[in-house]
Every structure is written in C-alpha cells, then in structure tokens.
Structure 1
Amino acid sequence: MKKRFRAVLLSLGLLFLLAQPAFAAELGEPNITPQTKMEEIRSNPSIVGAGIYTYSLDQDRALDRLYWDAQPLSRLSNHWTAQDAADGLNYLIRTYNAGQQVTFPLYTAEEIAQDTSRDGVELYYMPTENAQPNQKYVLVIGGNAIVVSAEIREGISTAWNLHEMGYPVFVLRYRIGIKATNNAPLEDVARAVQYITEHAEQFGVRAQDYAILSYSSGGQISGLFGTDAVGYKNYGLPKPGAMLLGYPVNTFLEFEPLYNVLLDTGVCQQRYYKMTLSDYITPDYPPTYHWCGKNDLTLMSMCWWAQGPVLEKALVRNGVAHIYHVYDNAPHAVGAGKGTDAEGWLTEAAAFWEEQVG
C-alpha cells in the first residue's frame, strides 16, 4: 500500500515537473530596460496576457508598427522617463506573474456595443508591495496631443515613482483623437473614479481623499473633473483630496475651432476643450499643486501666459489651498522631472496632499 502511495506521489511530482516549462512559457520575464526594443516588450507573454497597451494612437497602424517595433523604449518614452517606465513595466509583469489582475476595462460589453469608442478605456493597477486596507490611492492621467497618448511615458513611469513612495496607483487609458467626442475624456475620468470607488474594498483603498495626478491636456480634463460645475458632483462621486497637476493645459485657446471641426463637427454645445479651467475654479475647488517650466515649448505654442499663470491667479482669487512652481528648466513631457529643475516635485506634491487630507 505504501509503495503504491509513493508511486502515485512520484507520478504526480513528475507530471508537475513536466508541466513547469509549459506554464513558464506563458509568463514573461521582468527584464525590460530603456534599451529594450518595443517589439520585444509587446511580445512579452506577461505584457500580452495582462493586456497592457504599449502603443500610442499615432503608432497603432500597420506601417507605423514596423517603425516603432524596432525602436527602444527610450524612444517611445524619452530620456527623462524611460528608466521609470521600464521599472514600472517590470513591476506590472511581476504583479501579473504573481496571479494578480493588472488591467481593468471600464465599460461593459453592452456599453461598448452602444458606443464602440469606449473599447480600450481601462485602468492599469499598480498595487503596493504589502497591501494594507483603506490606503489612499492616486489616479494618474497622462497627456495627449490629439494623436499621441502617454500611458507609458507619463502614466506608468509616474505610477512607479508613486509606488516606490508606498501608494497604490491606477493609470487611466482614456479616449483621445477622433474618439474624444461628446466630452468622452471627461466621462472616462468619471468612470475611472466610479469604478475604483465601487471596488474600493477589492483594491484595499479608501473611496475618499484620493489624489488625481495628471499632465498637460490630461490636467485640463481632470482639472474640470475637480470642479463643482461639470465635475465629480455631477457624477455623484467623492471629491478629490487633491489635484496634482504637471504642466497642465488651462485653455486650448486658438485650438478650440480645430478641435470642434475634428471632434464635434456642427455641434455648438459646450465641450471640455472649449472650457478654460480657471473660469471654473471656485472656493470649494480641491487643494491643488501645479507647476510648469519656462522652457516648455508645448505650452509656449499655446500661449504660455494663458496656462499656469492664469490658473494660479484663479486659485489665489478663490482662496484655494495650493502650491505653484515655475521652473527655469522643465520641458514638456518630463513626468517626474528627473534630470530637470522639477526633480523632486512628486515628493513635495505627495506631502502637500497628505497635509490636506490628514
């Protein structure tokens, strides 16, 4: 009887060992560096299995893929953010390999059937190493330039920095380009907060006191979400504990007609790109940390003085608790700002947020 039992155990053990290579082949290695080619990253079994989007809208076409697949991560990202992006992607791979879900679609199949532009709107979740219940979370929203999105460059790279500071982080992939009609990006921000709020216990986070950290045009969209007039109250959601805005767009100014023609032809109703954020600031606006650089060529092309400086005046005028920095050397799309005058802003912003929510 004992011999038979041992034989069964040996057989099971042999089957287990034989199964290991097949199982291991389904998982990718967390070995991404800034020099790793995008084709290798995109074919990593864990990146594929986790459902992490590694393109940008302008690169997600057949001919463009041939070019971008041959480029290193540092090219898709940039030299300021590439190492953090690599570290963030590696952590997401390890998280997926440990059996945790990383990607969370925000719209149901029925909702996508009603509006196909909702397909691909999702959250990438970066949990803490030793998750504790009731943690404060950060929702990170990258910028876009109609056809360029920054889920990796600004999203995952920033999420990694915040993860290292001990926060659970969500990165939002929202609708841009021709999909950004009818206030879709604003709807996506609201849906992200709604989803996290409804699943707060599952994620081990608290529904209140969260921070929204966003960049560039993502700052304008999320900034509007923080307002009384068109933001969180209209969706029945908790008020953000703080808005942390890196080189945010305050107004699209001369770009409004172009956006209207491209996105909402013939539509006269109010749209997010027609709204100047500073016009919607009230005394009840969430505490705000915002900054920009004097050598930000993107904001210069949009009239630099109409952006951060005007937003700052509105915050002062309404008595909103805030911090504002203007750096001499902080170009656009630098994310955490490493290697620029803005380096360290995330630490200061997190301390500001903590002070505001207690």
Structure 2
Amino acid sequence: MKKRTKLAAALCGLGLMMTLALPAFAAGTITTETTMGEIRSDPGVQGAGIWTNSKFRDIKPLQTYYYNKQTLAEFVGSENAEASAAGLNLAVENYEAGRQVTYKLYSDEEIAADPTKEVAELNYFPAKTPNAKYALVLSGNISTRTAELKECISTAYELHEKGYAVFTMRYRVFQNASDNAPLDDIGRAVQFITEHAKVFDVQTENYALLGYSSGGHLLGLFCGRELGYQKYKVPKPGALLLAYPINDFNEARPFYRLVMDPAVCATRYYDYTISGSVDADYPPTYFWYGKNDNTLKLLIYSEQGPALEKALTESGVPHQRTVYNNAAHGIGLGYGTDAEGWLDDAAAFWEAQTAE
C-alpha cells in the first residue's frame, strides 16, 4: 500500500512538473512574465511575423540561451512591459483573425539585387474604426541593436487603444545603412501605405511620424525639404512626434562614416541635423527629453533638444517641447518615470494640429 502511495505521489509530482513546463502561449496569452524563448516559439508570434530578436543580435548560442531565459519585462524594461505584452497579443489576435500583420517593403527582385533590403518591413495594427488616421513608428538603434519590441510594439498598442491605425517599422541599420538606406526605407514605407490606403482603411493625409532616439533623427530629416517626403512624392506628415530624439550625431559621425560609407565623399543622413532641416513649412512637432539623458549629454546636450527648440521657434513652426527631470534615454513609454503619459500629450498635439 505504501508503495502505491509513493508511486501515485511521484506521478502527481511529475504531472505538476510537466504542467509548469508548458510554454506560456499554451494559455493563449503573453504576459510580462512570459520568457523570450516562449514568445519566440509562440506560433501566433511566428505567424504574425513579429521580429523579437531586435534588441540584441543573438549570434552566439550562449547569448541566445541567456536572452531566451529573460522574461518580457526583463527584456524590454518595466516602463514598457505591460504595453509590449498587450501589443504582442494584439498582433497574434490579428493574425489568428486572418489579417496579414507583416509586409515586406521591397519585392523579391529588389531583395535579390540588394539583400540588405530583406529586413525592411512593416507590422500593421488596424484601427478599431474605418478610415482612421495612422502613425508610422520607428525605434532607436545603436550599431546592430534596435528596439522594435520595446519601443514600437508597446507604442502601437497604446495608439491602437486611442483609435489609430499603426505601422511599426524595421529599417536598415549599421553596415546595412549605407547610402541613406534608412531614409529610403521610410520613403518606401509611406509610399506603400499611401498606395494601399484602401486595403489598410486609413487616411493618406494627416498621418503622424513617431520616432525614438536615432529613429527620431531619421524621421526629423524625412520631414525636411532636402532628404524628406517631397523627394519620395508622398503627402506631408500631419505631425512629427519625437521621444528623446538625436538632433546631431556630433562625435559619432566619423564612426558612422567608417562603418557605413567608407571612401565616400558625399554627405549622408548622419551628417545632417534635424534642426538644420527645419523651415517655415516643417510639420508641427512634439518632442521631449530628460535632463538626466546621458546619451544626449555624450553627444553635446546643447546641440540636441535645445538646438531643435531654437530652430522650430525661429522658423515659426507649431511645436511643443517637454523637458523632464527624470527621464533617461531609451525608456520608451516611460511608465514609472517623470515622462509617464507623454504619449497622451503627443496624441492630443497631433489631433489639435490636424483638426481642420
């Protein structure tokens, strides 16, 4: 009798262990405590085509093992965890409802001619109502690291809840970003959305461009005359919304030149500043940054937000700037910091500037 009791207990224990070992997506919901390995194995995430390796370039087995063990909250930070989980679940929900989530920006022929174009793609989050305004969202980047999951997917969910359609974007970075490739990717993205506006059920005018850090630098240039939307023959953005944008790369330029465009004399996007692209016809601009932003300090603080503020003021461009005491670089939505709620203010600014 005792042997049977021990056997039953052992089987119950084994069953409990197997239950605990089941991946989080078995329950159909991604949470902040779901591991990155479970998220990357989720058939809904895979089917939707959401890129989840973006924050780190997992090229070594030990790196992959380490980051797969991290929870979503550990991977994206507490400031963005809840919204990132909700954004992933929304993407899976759209995929399971039969909607296409991920779109390549270049044709097979274009990718065959230039393999770097393979990474350029859009993730589509439909609005709750027809003929909605849309936002195109870009994350920041540093060398081979980007932050689509942390900054883009979380923002997509929040904007979706406000009634907008949202497109998050992967663009070429680092060694793939030669010859102004990221700007070409943005231009192609807006062209693609405009050409397929009926399919996406969005307005072609009054759209917002929302960028973080170096993604904000690119979008800021895209709003100017020389490198921007007019060159790509697309409508003028209704508003430019920037979180801790890089206005001027300063010391980073020689490194960018060496890595991306060696032996090239022509100017490239990192040679330009957002402030230098501003004129009287520049789109209305909302931006914020923190006094304790060490990244902006490394790039000469006065040449970042303050220089952009001066250019917008002198050109008479409608704008709103907020400087927070406690808002470090890379915090995304910024929940739990002084910047919490900035996206509400940005959306209100967008609406006010496009009301007519």
CA distance in 1, matches of 2:28, 2:267: 45
The 8 Å contact of residues 127 and 168 in structure 1, kept in 2 or not, is answered as yes
CA distance in 2, matches of 1:122, 1:242: 22
The alpha carbon displacement at 1:131 in A equals 3.1
The alpha carbon displacement at 1:29 in A equals 5.4
- The residue number in structure 2 matching 1:324 is 321
Corresponding residue to 2:307 among 302, 306, 310: 310
CA distance in 1, matches of 2:209, 2:143: 21
The alpha carbon displacement at 1:116 in A equals 0.3
CA distance in 2, matches of 1:30, 1:143: 30
Corresponding residue to 2:57 among 50, 56, 59: 59
CA distance in 2, matches of 1:58, 1:116: 21
CA distance in 1, matches of 2:174, 2:104: 19
The 8 Å contact of residues 30 and 94 in structure 1, kept in 2 or not, is answered as no
Task: Give the stretch that moved more between structures: 270-279 or 285-294.
Answer: 270-279
SS at match of 2:119: coil
Distance 1:235 1:256, change over 3 A: same
CA distance in 2, matches of 1:340, 1:211: 24
Task: Give the stretch that moved more between structures: 144-153 or 298-307.
Answer: 298-307
CA distance in 1, matches of 2:155, 2:56: 22
Residue 199 of structure 2 corresponds to residue 206 of structure 1: no
The 8 Å contact of residues 132 and 163 in structure 2, kept in 1 or not, is answered as no
Give the TM-score of the pair, scaled to structure 2.
0.90
SS at match of 1:232: coil
The 8 Å contact of residues 55 and 147 in structure 2, kept in 1 or not, is answered as no
Give the TM-score of the pair, scaled to structure 1.
0.90
The 8 Å contact of residues 55 and 149 in structure 2, kept in 1 or not, is answered as no
The alpha carbon displacement at 1:58 in A equals 3.6
- The residue number in structure 2 matching 1:93 is 92
The alpha carbon displacement at 1:336 in A equals 1.7
- The residue number in structure 2 matching 1:110 is 109
Residue 222 of structure 2 corresponds to residue 252 of structure 1: no
The 8 Å contact of residues 37 and 70 in structure 1, kept in 2 or not, is answered as yes
Flag structure 2 segments of 5+ consecutive residues without an equivalent. 1-24
CA distance in 1, matches of 2:60, 2:267: 35
CA distance in 1, matches of 2:288, 2:176: 29
The 8 Å contact of residues 134 and 165 in structure 2, kept in 1 or not, is answered as yes
Counterpart of 1:50, as a letter, is A
Counterpart of 2:119, as a letter, is G
- The residue number in structure 1 matching 2:13 is none
Corresponding residue to 1:171 among 163, 168, 191: 168
Deviations 1:141-186 (A, max 9, x none): 1101112101100000111111111111110011112111111111
Deviations 1:205-225 (A, max 9, x none): 011110001110000001100
- The residue number in structure 1 matching 2:274 is 277
The count of aligned residue pairs is: 330
Deviations 1:92-137 (A, max 9, x none): 1111111111111111000101110000211111112x331x2110
- The residue number in structure 1 matching 2:74 is 75
CA distance in 1, matches of 2:334, 2:138: 16
Distance 1:87 1:197, change over 3 A: same
SS at match of 2:231: helix
The alpha carbon displacement at 1:38 in A equals 0.6
CA distance in 1, matches of 2:101, 2:92: 9
The 8 Å contact of residues 32 and 81 in structure 2, kept in 1 or not, is answered as yes
CA distance in 2, matches of 1:65, 1:296: 29
Within 5 Å, give how 1:1-20 maps onto structure 2.
none
Counterpart of 1:313, as a letter, is K
The 8 Å contact of residues 78 and 335 in structure 2, kept in 1 or not, is answered as no
Corresponding residue to 2:259 among 217, 238, 262: 262
Task: Give the stretch that moved more between structures: 201-210 or 336-345.
Answer: 336-345
Deviations 1:69-101 (A, max 9, x none): 111112221111111101100111111111111
Flag structure 1 segments of 5+ consecutive residues without an equivalent. 1-26
- The residue number in structure 1 matching 2:33 is 35
Corresponding residue to 1:286 among 279, 283, 286: 283
- The residue number in structure 2 matching 1:347 is 344
The 8 Å contact of residues 28 and 46 in structure 1, kept in 2 or not, is answered as no
CA distance in 2, matches of 1:56, 1:352: 30
CA distance in 2, matches of 1:60, 1:101: 26
SS at match of 1:59: coil
SS at match of 2:329: coil
CA distance in 1, matches of 2:69, 2:352: 45
The 8 Å contact of residues 87 and 154 in structure 2, kept in 1 or not, is answered as yes
SS at match of 2:38: helix
Deviations 1:283-304 (A, max 9, x none): 0000000110011122122112
- The residue number in structure 1 matching 2:144 is 147
